[in-house]
């Protein structure tokens, strides 16, 4: 879906062809890609261009990606949804220059508000590699609960890594949002 959301501090918008350079710049950083399951390292401009080609119009809500665009600073990161074995999964990343400003808490909040309104899913899944305290803090703050541990392939590290599995239910989200 082509979704655009305006938050108090920034825009969430569909990815564009011109995004390849900043995406490659920020993802070619093991501190970012090493916390993600599906992003290789090193990460080249060609990887960003190939990913952007996959963002064809008309994708369903469960495959939507939202680009975080900061006024005056441009592309800062992404929030994305994809399909998992149990249901939809939310993932996200922010370029290192933008960490620690509350941006991802706000971006995930806006994305979840949109997703639960746009779909009938009762549960959304996520998780973090076991060392990712900042991302776990975001998820706990937003109402995600831990469901267990698994081993998940981290492409950038070319290794299976212990993963804390989490989920968020619609009822918890709606109770929190009121
Ligand atoms: C994880 C990431 C998304 C955080 O983005 P961010 O905009 O800096 O996050 P926010 O500022 O909104 O919130 C981070 C929270 O983690 C907390 N935090 C940060 N470092 C922490 C640490 N080492 N231990 C515990 N909590 C920590 C912050 O205090 C903050 O919580 P608060 O708002 O209650 O104070 C960003 O660092 C990133 O993209 N990292 C690389 C990719 C990644 O990890 N993606 C997620 C994969 S699951």
For range 116-136, the mean pLDDT:
98
103: enclosing H helix or E strand: helix 103-118
Cβ of residue 109 lying under 6 Å from some atom of ligand 1: no
Q: In what order do the strands lie in the sheet with 65-70?
A: 5-6, 11-13, 65-70, 74-83, 88-94, 123-129, 159-169, 145-154
Ligand 1 mean position, distance from CA 138 (Å)? 6
Answer yes or no: are the C-beta atoms of 67 and 12 closer than 8 Å. Answer: yes
Cβ of residue 27 lying under 6 Å from some atom of ligand 1: no
- Compute the half-sphere exposure of residue 12: CA atoms within 13 Å on the CB side of its CA: 26
Q: At 32, list the tokens.
A: 């970012």
**CATH class label, 5-177:** alpha beta
pLDDT surpasses 60 at 21: yes
pLDDT surpasses 80 at 177: no
For residue range 82-100, what is the model confidence (pLDDT) as tens digits?
A: 999 999 999 999 999 999 9
Q: At 65, list the tokens.
A: 């990606």
Cβ of residue 8 lying under 6 Å from some atom of ligand 1: no
For range 99-112, the mean pLDDT:
98
Ligand 1 mean position, distance from CA 37 (Å)? 17
pLDDT of residue 57: 85
Q: Give the separation between CA 178 and CA 174, rounded to whole angstroms.
A: 6
Ligand 1 mean position, distance from CA 91 (Å)? 13
Ligand 1 mean position, distance from CA 57 (Å)? 31
Cβ of residue 134 lying under 6 Å from some atom of ligand 1: yes
pLDDT surpasses 90 at 113: yes
For range 139-160, the mean pLDDT:
98
pLDDT of residue 56: 87
């Amino acid at each position: 879906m082509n979704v655009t959301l305006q938050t108090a501090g920034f825009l969430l918008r569909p990815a564009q062809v011109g995004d390849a350079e900043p995406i490659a710049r920020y993802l070619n950083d093991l501190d970012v890609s090493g916390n993600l399951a599906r992003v290789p390292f090193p990460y080249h401009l060609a990887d960003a261009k190939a990913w952007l080609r996959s963002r064809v119009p008309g994708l369903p809500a469960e495959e939507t990606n939202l680009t975080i665009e900061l006024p005056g600073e441009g592309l800062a990161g992404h929030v994305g949804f994809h399909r998992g074995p149990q249901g939809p999964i939310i993932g996200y990343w922010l370029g290192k220059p933008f960490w620690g400003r509350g941006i991802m808490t706000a971006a995930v909040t806006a994305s979840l508000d949109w997703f639960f309104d746009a779909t009938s899913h009762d549960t959304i899944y996520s998780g973090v590699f076991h060392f990712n305290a900042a991302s776990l803090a975001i998820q706990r703050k937003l109402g995600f609960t831990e469901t267990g541990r698994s081993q998940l392939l981290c492409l950038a590290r070319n290794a299976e890594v212990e993963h804390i599995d989490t989920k968020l239910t619609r009822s918890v989200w709606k109770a929190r949002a009121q």
